[in-house]
Structure 1
Amino acid sequence: MSRRGARAVGGVVGLLAVCGVAVAHGGSLRDASGQELAVPTWLFLSTGGAVVGASFLLASFVTDRRFVAAVHEWRRRLPAPRRALAWVGHAVGLAGFGFILLTGFVGPTEPLRNGAIVLVWVGWWAAFAMSTYLVGNSWPAINPFRTLTAPLARVLGDRSVSLAPGRAAWASTAFLLALVWFEVVSPLADEPRLLAAAAVGYLALSTAGVLAVGHDQWFAEVAPLSRLFSMYGSVAPIQRADDGLELRLPAMRLTDGVVTTDGGVAFVVALVWGTTYDGFVGTPAWASFARAAVDAGVPPQLLYPAALLVGFLAFHRLYWWAARKARDFAPTYTETAVLARRFAPSLLAIAAGYHLAHYLVYALSLSPSLFGALLAPLDPPVARTLVLPSWLSGVGVATVLLGHLFAIWVAHATAYDELPGRLQAIRSQYALTLVMVFYTMTSLWIIGQPAAEPPFL
């Protein structure tokens, strides 16, 4: 980590240290949608790691560079009225933002009946986020913060002050970690007034960012939500091209230089860890650990931010260990930093698979509450949830494994693109595959845990 990156993370630590105790992400929404996994823990943990390891062995047999390149270069142009779609996106985003402010400040206070709560957590953070990696990233058009601050760009013109790409990525990483912490420890999913105020706060942050570095750089490189959806969108089959839209095989864009700086690597790792952390703090294991830590003298105000930062640093160091080992197993003149940047996008497939596993049942079970709140925002019907079949929880396991299989293939294709020797390319993936197995086992273990209320509400 660079000194500037360390200072950015240190600033986040300082911010977190003065904040309050945890209230638990999800709140009433998580309790309403809880569903235990119907697959024995020992079975999916053992088979999950084995599937990832076996997929690496199978990918190793694909050594025809022309075939690998053909798979990643396949694309079809999709005619689309991009300008009209952009205007529709602007209108939808502004309408949604206004809806959140209206229902958040004056709507019902019950979480499952408040339109702001269900629209943000069910409609946006669950369903819309899924669409960014299952279909394509439409956030640049929908983003209401970008639309509302666009007049500033015309007033300010070109900015003479800008951040280097690496520093911008580190700043975005720090903002993302801060957002993950705030989401987990604040009652955003239970208090609509606070959620509406947070939306206004993010608009204020966006305005300050635009004033500091300019509209284009803020939303292209620094704004954490924009970078997050951009990373998720690189997994999607529909991508933006110079002349419109194009259809590609899922996750195949991940070999196209999606990450170009060490800060970008940190953001990808933070994205993987952030979703993992979000699920981990809702497990019985975390509840037991948290109580034991507080009994041992750890202030509850520091427990959650410390776990967030320690986990991120552990995931970050583990990934860089894999990048260094890639050079040891496959001697090459390519620098470790270059290998780290090239392989990092493969982790985005893992992040997308785990997000889908984490939120699929959640979104489906709470969809009646979403539709009810949208149809009658100020006087919604009594909140309802769908009772889903138990086998649907197994879909979460499948999406985690599918994400890791895509990651294995992307890493394989990246190695063949970056390194000249066939055996060299295969050996460079050894350590990364071990890290992916670790991520797989961790994600599957979290999915298999029953929901537990994080302590110290």
Structure 2
Amino acid sequence: MPRPRPFPALATLLATLLVTLLATTVFVEPAVAHAGSLGAVTRSAPVPSWLVIASGAGAVGASFLFTSLLTDRRVVEGVPHRGRSLPPVGPFLVGVARWAAVAAVPLVVAVGLIGPDAPAANLLTLGVWVVWWAGYTTTTYAVGDTWPALNPWRTVASLLPVEPRSLPARVGTWPSVAGLLALVGLEVLSPVAADPRLLAAAVVGYSGVTVAGAAAFGDAWFDRVDPVARTFALYGRFAPIRRTESGLDVGLPGAGLAREPTVSDLDDVAFVVALVWVTTFDGLVSTAAWGSATAAVTTLGVPAWPVTLAGLLGGLGCFLGCYWLAARGVRRTAPTYVSARYLAGWFAPALIPIAAGYHFAHFVGYLVGFAPTVAAVAAAPLAPPGSLVVLSPPGWFGAVQLFAIVAGHVLAVWVAHARAFELFAGRVQPIRSQYPFAAVAVLYTTVSLWIVAQPIAAGIA
């Protein structure tokens, strides 16, 4: 007789547990991300923060316990390969979208320079923070990475009569790590996010550097240096739709991460962890708790910007340290000749669902709230209506944010589970190898849920 497959039962039990735990937090008020300082509503959560954190962390821990019962290799190896193929998108539509993106950049920059001063009424600030960073980024992990085809700076650089040269291998992808931190630091440490004129200058500066770098080093610039392209590429690896030579491959979210044989280098690991942290930090700096802590330090005569910079870099160091300790811990819980460096690189793809869940949780309320504002300003960018509508999501909308965070961590547990069975032999060894990473996942969940449960500081309306 064929052996019973426990996956359907486990999935049902896990779904039941998630619904039960998250039901206690359905009325938690939403927390909106910092992104762009366009403003948000300050509210306090009617459910205690400890209950929110305990529910989410418990769901992630329970997901690990359930997946640890799934030791049938046929099921573990078969789930990531389920899916189907679709024909590729026609080149005409891709060409139209590509050149529309090229034309959009100078247009929104011009509006940023001559349009309204208020960030919530300027098409540039709305376009950058709401349409692009909140909306388009969501499509990269929800649908797939279309940025290589739409990237306007790649398109412009390809037209320049310059022969690209090779990028030195010794630099690795560390420039993209520094670039990601620089972009986030610029957003939270300067008024560029809320000043259309400064934002226009920043877009022009980024455009010049990106086009020059792409012209000098070709695709290597976007593969190893540009933090934006690397972010979208990582999110695209999580998406259920992936491009292949034969067309489009449609499967389960995270399936590509579970089955890909790549091992990330230390610089790639650093970028993935940094992506998780900066999205978390973007939400942290908008909370009232962070504002109170910063104010307390500034009363001692310390400027606010060193405190924020220390938080950005120190938090990244803590996140990296925890992940590295987990990689070293695997060699104790599941004794193996494989080095900690190799283990860190092998399991790094499992962090991508966490980053995607963080991004969605932090930006979904922001995207929904400013959707009518974007429509009204886009209709008359130089003379928008004097009264702009910004939606305030209902209290239960906070459950969507919590579910996104927990779902990202649960998917991360599954990806790590599948990759563990790919690396380790037997049934016990793969399960034991995940103990340290499950602990890190619960820690990351606790931090993120605490941030979501906090009231946010008032922004610029």
TM superposition score normalised by structure 2: 0.88
Per mean C-alpha deviation after superposition, the further-off stretch among 296-305 and 317-326 is 296-305
Q: Does 1:30 align with 2:36?
A: no
Whole-Å Cα distance in 2 between the matches of residues 118 and 87 of structure 1?
25
Q: Deviations over 1:42-62 (max 9, x none)?
A: 221111111111100000011
Correspondence for 1:383: 388
Whole-Å Cα distance in 1 between the matches of residues 192 and 154 of structure 2?
22
Correspondence for 1:149: 157
Q: What does 1:47-446 correspond to in 2, within 5 Å?
A: 47-152=55-160, 155-159=161-165, 161-164=166-169, 167-212=171-216, 214-255=217-258, 256-257=260-261, 260-381=264-385, 382-446=387-451
Tell me: CA distance 1:338–1:131, structure 2 relative to 1, closer, same or farther (3 Å). Answer: same
Contact 1:55–1:405 (Cα < 8 Å) also in 2: yes
Contact 1:234–1:258 (Cα < 8 Å) also in 2: no
Whole-Å Cα distance in 2 between the matches of residues 34 and 96 of structure 1?
33
Q: Which amino acid aligns with 2:38?
A: L
Tell me: CA distance 1:143–1:158, structure 2 relative to 1, closer, same or farther (3 Å). Answer: closer
Whole-Å Cα distance in 2 between the matches of residues 26 and 250 of structure 1?
26
Whole-Å Cα distance in 2 between the matches of residues 35 and 232 of structure 1?
31
Aligned-pair CA distance for 1:333 = 1.4
Matched length = 425
Whole-Å Cα distance in 2 between the matches of residues 367 and 128 of structure 1?
13
Tell me: CA distance 1:334–1:26, structure 2 relative to 1, closer, same or farther (3 Å). Answer: closer
Whole-Å Cα distance in 2 between the matches of residues 402 and 373 of structure 1?
34
Question: Secondary structure of the equivalent of 2:172?
Answer: helix
Q: Deviations over 1:237-264 (max 9, x none)?
A: 1101012211011011113146521100
Contact 1:287–1:453 (Cα < 8 Å) also in 2: no
Q: Deviations over 1:5-60 (max 9, x none)?
A: xxxxxxxxxxxxxxxxxxx94465232x5565454322211111111111000000
Q: What does 1:438-457 correspond to in 2, within 5 Å?
A: 438-452=443-457
Q: Which amino acid aligns with 1:30?
A: G
Q: Deviations over 1:125-177 (max 9, x none)?
A: 1111111111111111221111121123xx23341x3132x733111111101
Q: Percent identity?
A: 44
Tell me: CA distance 1:44–1:300, structure 2 relative to 1, closer, same or farther (3 Å). Answer: closer
Tell me: CA distance 1:345–1:113, structure 2 relative to 1, closer, same or farther (3 Å). Answer: same
Whole-Å Cα distance in 2 between the matches of residues 85 and 250 of structure 1?
25
Per mean C-alpha deviation after superposition, the further-off stretch among 268-277 and 182-191 is 182-191
Whole-Å Cα distance in 2 between the matches of residues 34 and 363 of structure 1?
17
Correspondence for 2:4: none
Q: Identify the match of residue 54 of structure 2 among 46, 55, 67.
A: 46
Q: Which amino acid aligns with 1:45?
A: I
Contact 1:282–1:451 (Cα < 8 Å) also in 2: yes
Q: Which amino acid aligns with 1:253?
A: G
Q: Deviations over 1:388-436 (max 9, x none)?
A: 2211111100110100100000000010001112111111111111110
Q: Which amino acid aligns with 2:292?
A: S
Tell me: CA distance 1:35–1:151, structure 2 relative to 1, closer, same or farther (3 Å). Answer: farther
Question: Secondary structure of the equivalent of 1:30?
Answer: coil
Q: Which amino acid aligns with 1:399?
A: A
Whole-Å Cα distance in 1 between the matches of residues 172 and 155 of structure 2?
21
Contact 1:82–1:244 (Cα < 8 Å) also in 2: no
Whole-Å Cα distance in 2 between the matches of residues 266 and 297 of structure 1?
33
Aligned-pair CA distance for 1:445 = 0.5
Contact 2:402–2:449 (Cα < 8 Å) also in 1: yes
Q: Deviations over 1:97-127 (max 9, x none)?
A: 1232121111111111111111111111111
Per mean C-alpha deviation after superposition, the further-off stretch among 300-309 and 167-176 is 300-309
Whole-Å Cα distance in 2 between the matches of residues 412 and 168 of structure 1?
28
Contact 2:36–2:125 (Cα < 8 Å) also in 1: no
Whole-Å Cα distance in 2 between the matches of residues 35 and 225 of structure 1?
32
Tell me: CA distance 1:257–1:145, structure 2 relative to 1, closer, same or farther (3 Å). Answer: farther
Whole-Å Cα distance in 2 between the matches of residues 27 and 118 of structure 1?
8
Whole-Å Cα distance in 1 between the matches of residues 146 and 42 of structure 2?
29
Aligned-pair CA distance for 1:81 = 2.8
Contact 2:257–2:415 (Cα < 8 Å) also in 1: yes
Q: Which consecutive residues of structure 1, in runs of 5 or more, have no partner in the other structure?
A: 1-23
Per mean C-alpha deviation after superposition, the further-off stretch among 110-119 and 185-194 is 185-194
Whole-Å Cα distance in 2 between the matches of residues 230 and 131 of structure 1?
12
CA RMSD of aligned residues (A): 1.9
Per mean C-alpha deviation after superposition, the further-off stretch among 80-89 and 67-76 is 80-89
Whole-Å Cα distance in 2 between the matches of residues 431 and 298 of structure 1?
38
Question: Secondary structure of the equivalent of 1:374?
Answer: helix
Whole-Å Cα distance in 2 between the matches of residues 172 and 26 of structure 1?
20
Whole-Å Cα distance in 1 between the matches of residues 303 and 391 of structure 2?
39
Tell me: CA distance 1:257–1:206, structure 2 relative to 1, closer, same or farther (3 Å). Answer: farther
Correspondence for 1:4: none
Aligned-pair CA distance for 1:314 = 1.1
Q: Which amino acid aligns with 1:390?
A: G
Contact 2:154–2:211 (Cα < 8 Å) also in 1: no
Tell me: CA distance 1:389–1:300, structure 2 relative to 1, closer, same or farther (3 Å). Answer: closer
Aligned-pair CA distance for 1:95 = 3.0
